[in-house]
């Protein structure tokens, strides 16, 4: 059976209109923000290996040095290492004198340890795991 040409045109036009009705964009997912959970805190003077912290691989380090004596001779180096092999993953701080800083770190889940190399300063640092939290304001 032969169909009039306008029927075919109507079918194609309908298909084109209907194909535009669906959304090609994926549904919006609730935003995830990070909160921080204290894992450990250390302080001291001189060189030390510390830690054996189990982490999902995303954490924040907060470090501080003070009490430099004699002035101009203080040094502080904080290295993040694999807790299993001792392999250096990142030098988080390499600082001279009194100071402070924050370092965000991301890697694979594993056990970490921290090597402090220091002279003529008192030092402290904390490790805080990043804990994903669903942002309730964006899911409304």
Architecture per CATH, domain 34-133, reads as: Sandwich (2.60)
How do residues 73-105 score in pLDDT, each as one tens digit?
Answer: 999 999 999 999 999 999 999 999 999 999 999
Q: Looking at the DSSP assignment, which residues form a beta bridge with residue 43? A: 124
Mean pLDDT for all residues in the chain: 82
Which residue shows structure tokens 């340890």? Answer: 113
75 vs 26, higher pLDDT: 75
Q: How confident is the model at residue 18 (pLDDT cuts 50, 70, 90)?
A: very low
Which residue shows structure tokens 């954490």? Answer: 59
> What secondary structure, in 3-state letters, does 36-69 show?
EEEEEEEEEECCEEEEEEEECCEEEEEEEEECCC
CB 128 within 8 A of CB 74: no
The DSSP code for 111 is E
Every domain of the chain and the residues it spans: 34-133
pLDDT of residue 56: 86
> Where would I find the beta strands (DSSP E) of the chain?
32-45, 48-55, 58-66, 75-82, 88-96, 99-106, 110-119, 122-134
Residue 8 has pLDDT above 80, yes or no: no
Query: What is the value of pTM for the model shown?
Result: 0.71
29 vs 50, higher pLDDT: 50
pLDDT of residue 52: 87
pLDDT of residue 10: 42
46-55, 77-86, 110-119 — which is least confidently predicted?
Answer: 46-55
């Amino acid at each position: 059976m032969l169909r009039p040409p306008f029927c075919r045109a109507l079918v194609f036009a309908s298909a084109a209109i209907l194909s535009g009705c669906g959304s090609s964009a994926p549904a919006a997912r609730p935003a995830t923000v990070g909160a921080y959970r204290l894992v450990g805190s250390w302080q001291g003077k001189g060189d030390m290996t510390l830690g054996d912290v189990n982490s999902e691989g995303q954490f924040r380090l907060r470090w501080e040095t003070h009490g430099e004596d004699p002035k101009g001779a203080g040094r502080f180096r904080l290295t993040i290492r694999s807790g299993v092999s001792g392999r250096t993953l990142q030098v988080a701080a390499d600082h001279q004198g009194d100071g402070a800083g924050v370092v965000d770190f991301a890697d694979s889940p594993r056990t970490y340890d921290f090597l402090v190399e220091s002279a003529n300063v008192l030092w402290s640092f904390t490790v805080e795991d990043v804990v994903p939290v669903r942002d309730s304001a964006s899911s409304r």
